[in-house]
Amino acid sequence: DWTMAAYRDTKIAEIRAQVGDGKVICGLSGGVDSSVAAILIHEAIGAQLTCVFVDHGLLRQNEREQVEAMFRGAYNIPLVVVDAEDRFMAGLAGETDPEKKRKFIGGEFIAVFEEEANRIGGADFLAQGTLYPDVIESVSFTGGPSVTIKSHHNVGGLPERMNMELVEPLRELFKDEVRALGRELGLPDMFVGRHPFPGPGLAIRIPGEVTKERCDILRKADAIYLEEIRNAGLYDAIWQAFAVLLPVKTVGVMGDARTYDNVCGLRAVTSTDGMTADVYPFDAAFLTGCATRIVNEVQGVNRVVYDYTSKPPGTIEWE
């Protein structure tokens, strides 16, 4: 795509002009946006960039390993991976309010990030994979009167606190354009086409209290659901699909024994920008297959339900 090749060259020149010989730090989430931003900036300024990946224990199955393999292996970009599961789980203990969970995670993320920035002697610039819809959405989420539906997790507040300037090379782009740019930069299709994943991670897919045990249960159910979706060839037709773990136990029967276990919800939507979304209409046999596998293979789940709510009135994530 010649347009994206030109865009890439323009942005590389702009990044070099903005950054000079300064140091840039970039937080990776494992998602497409921050990855594309990091790879582009690395192409522009090489070793002046430090990438930090915070493992808050709220990641999907194998997510950390995939990010490590891609950055260190495929791109040879040095990556600082911070093991922060314990402090995130400790801070989330006992918290059930969705906004307080989000605020804690956002604040703790900033604290970890700040520590890592100090460890490398500080940075002059903070790189973020902010897209055009993020710019709009933070102005007014609903398009109506400005009201906060959810506190979105990003590193807002950090630049002023640490006296850093922002580098946001994707600010003019929509998601599909970022994906095209990612392909231009040699990112594998499998990575470029990944479904969006929220900064607060699995915490907002576990209504009620988040614990490591509940994250482990959810990770297993989610991996099975996504594997079924990939096997059915449906992954690319869906904007986002994931499992949620409900704070509800129900009675079931396995073999000839009574069970009393958690309910797992499945969500899948189509969308172009995440602002509105329609439910993905799986056929019943597909969902039955997922439910059977999840109940059989995931200890701690004995019932599976499908979420039929569009956005609006539902949001995509459950918190």
Question: Is 31 flagged in the annotation as binding?
Answer: yes
Residue number, 39 or 269, with CB nearest to ligand XMP: 269
Our finding on whether 196 is near ligand XMP (CB under 6 A) is yes
Cβ at position 152, least distance to ligand XMP in Å: 4
Tell me the C-alpha distance between 256 and 18, whole Å: 68
Asked if 215 and 230 count as a contact pair (C-beta separation under 8 A), the reply is no
Tell me the C-alpha distance between 225 and 228, whole Å: 5
Cβ neighbors of 195 (< 8 A, separation 6 or more) are 235, 238, 239, 240, 241, 242
49-88 positions binding ligand XMP, by CB under 6 A = none
Using CB under 6 A as the binding criterion, the count of chain residues that bind ligand XMP stands at 13
Q: Which of 64, 152, 171, 249 binds ligand XMP (CB under 6 A)?
A: 152
| Range in contact with ligand XMP (rule: CB under 6 A) among 4-12, 67-75, 193-201, 279-287 | 193-201
Our finding on whether 240 is near ligand XMP (CB under 6 A) is yes
Our finding on whether 212 is near ligand XMP (CB under 6 A) is no
Phi, psi of 170 (to 5 degrees): -105, 10
Q: Which of 87, 103, 249, 311 binds ligand XMP (CB under 6 A)?
A: 311
Q: Note the Cα 57 to chain centre separation in Å.
A: 13
Our finding on whether 315 is near ligand XMP (CB under 6 A) is yes
Question: What's the token pair of residue 266?
Answer: 């499945």
Tell me the C-alpha distance between 317 and 241, whole Å: 10
89-118 positions binding ligand XMP, by CB under 6 A = none
Question: Is 29 flagged in the annotation as binding?
Answer: yes
Tell me the C-alpha distance between 58 and 102, whole Å: 12
Question: What's the token pair of residue 49?
Answer: 């960039």
| Range in contact with ligand XMP (rule: CB under 6 A) among 184-192, 195-203, 213-221, 288-296 | 195-203
Our finding on whether 317 is near ligand XMP (CB under 6 A) is yes
Question: Is 34 flagged in the annotation as binding?
Answer: yes
From 221, 204, 195, 199, select the one nearest 61 (Cα to Cα): 221
Our finding on whether 150 is near ligand XMP (CB under 6 A) is yes
Q: Which of 169, 199, 207, 265 binds ligand XMP (CB under 6 A)?
A: 199
Residue number, 241 or 298, with CB nearest to ligand XMP: 241
Locate tokens 């979304």: which residue?
Answer: 277
Question: Is 33 flagged in the annotation as binding?
Answer: yes
Cβ at position 107, least distance to ligand XMP in Å: 13
CA angle 195–199–200, rounded 5-degree value: 115
Asked if 15 and 45 count as a contact pair (C-beta separation under 8 A), the reply is yes
Cβ neighbors of 13 (< 8 A, separation 6 or more) are none
Feature table: binding site for ATP: 29-35
* Residues within the interface to ligand XMP (CB under 6 A): 150, 152-153, 196, 198-200, 240, 274, 311, 315-317
